[in-house]
Amino acid sequence: MKFFKKLIATTVGAVLLAGAAAAMAADKKVVIGYQTDALPSSVGIANGDFEKTTGYKIDFRKFNSGADVFAAIASGDVQIGYVGSSPYAAATSRGLDVKAFYLASISGTDEALVVRNGSGINSLADLKGKKLAAAPVSTDHYQLLALIKSQGLSEKDVQVFAIPQPEIVAAYNRGDIDGGFVWDPALTELKKTGKVLVTSREVADKGAPTFSAWVATAAFAKDNPAFLKSYASVIEKYSNSFASNKAAWGPDSDNAKALAKLLGGTPADQAAGIKNLSLLPLSAQASDAWLGGGEKSGVAKILKETAVFLKEQKKISEVLPSYAAFVVPSAVNALKK
C-alpha cells in the first residue's frame, strides 16, 4: 500500500513539475514586428535563429511602416518592434513608453527620394510645384519635409502625400506623383523608371539625421533583460557576418535567397539593398554618440530634434523635455563584456 501511495505521489509530482515547466515555456512568448527593409538580421527571422538563441517562442509579424508597428505596440499586440526615428519620436511624444535597445542602422543610401523619368525634376531646385510622397510619419516623411524646408519651400509649394509604400509605388507607376521618398522594396521598384535625387545620408548631412532601431515596451524590457541581450546578439552576429564576408551576401548567396523569401523581391534585389545600409559597430552603439550617455545620448538628442520639427509641422502637439528615458544601452553593454 505504501508503495502505491509513494508511486502516486511521485507521479503526481512529476505531472505538476511537467505542468509548471510547460507553463514557464508558455510564458516565454513574444510578438515582434519587423518591416521590409533588407537587414542582415532578417535571415535570423527566416531560419529561426532568434528563437533558437533566445529560447522564446517568437511570433514575427510583418508591417509596412514604423507607424503601423507602434500602433500594434500601443494596442498591446506587439512587445518588440523595428522602427524608424521619426515614428519613434512621434509615439514617445504621445506617451508611449518604449526603449531602444539596439540600433539597426543610421542614415544611409537605403532610403532615398526617387524622381520619375519625365517629371522635370533634375535637381532640388526643381521641386517647386511637384507632387511627392512618403509613408506617414516615417523617417522618409520626416526627411522629405525637412528637405523641402531646407530649400526654402513649404507644403504649399510642394504637394506631399502621406500614403503607405504600396500606394506610393502604384501612384508613381501611374504618373500621379513625381517622386517618392522610400525604402526597399519600393526603392528598387521606383528606380526602375526614375533616378535617385537625394539619399537619406545626404539629408542627414543637411541637418536631419535619422536612425532605425529595435525597441521594446518598457514592461517587457524591465522583465526580460536576458532576452534583449540574446536578441541583440543575433542581430550582431549577422551584422558582423555582412561586414566581414561580403561574398556570403551576394545575389547568389543563401542569405540573399532567405531574405527574398521572407521580404519579397529577388535575391539580387535584396543583395543590392543590403549594400546601402549604414550599420553601427557595437562599440559605437554603446557610446554617448548613440545609446549611451543618458541625457547626452545621440539617440535621445535626435528624438528631441525630430519631435521639435514634427511639432512645427503640426504632426504632434507636444515635445517632451527629455527623451533619454526611451533609450537603454544595457543590452549592447552586456554584449561588450
3-state secondary structure the chain: CHHHHHHHHHHHHHHHHHHHHHHHHHHCEEEEEECCCCCCCHHHHHCCHHHHHHCCEEEEEECCCHHHHHHHHHHCCCCEEEEEHHHHHHHHHCCCCEEEEEEEEECCCCEEEEEECCCCCCCHHHCCCCEEEECCCCHHHHHHHHHHHHCCCCCCCCEEEECCHHHHHHHHHHCCCCEEEEECCHHHHHHCCEEEEEEHHHHHHCCCCCEEEEEEEHHHHHHCHHHHHHHHHHHHHHHHHHHHCHHHHCCCCHHHHHHHHHHCCCHHHHHHHHCCCECCCHHHHCCCCCCCCHHHCHHHHHHHHHHHHHHHCCCCCCCCCCCHHHECCHHHHHHHC
* Weakest mean pLDDT among 24-33, 151-160, 248-257, 296-305: 24-33
Q: Which CATH number fits the domain 9-107+210-336, given the four candidates 3.40.190.10, 3.30.930.10, 3.50.50.60, 3.90.1300.10?
A: 3.40.190.10
Q: What pLDDT, on a 0 to 100 scale, did the predictor assign at position 210?
A: 93
Q: What pLDDT, on a 0 to 100 scale, did the predictor assign at position 16?
A: 39
Residue 18 binned pLDDT confidence (cut-offs 50, 70, 90): very low
Q: What pTM was computed for the model?
A: 0.84
Residues 161-203 have pLDDT tens digits of 999 999 999 999 999 999 999 998 899 999 999 999 999 999 9
**Residue in 170, 190, 184 with CA at minimum distance from that of residue 260:** 184
Domains 9-107+210-336 and 111-205 share a fold: yes
Residues 37-68 have pLDDT tens digits of 889 999 999 999 999 999 999 999 999 899 99
| Residue ranges of domains in the chain | 9-107+210-336, 111-205
* Fold for the domain defined by 111-205: D-Maltodextrin-Binding Protein; domain 2 (3.40.190)
pLDDT tops 70 at residue 26: no
pLDDT tops 60 at residue 242: yes
Give the mean pLDDT of the chain.
Answer: 90
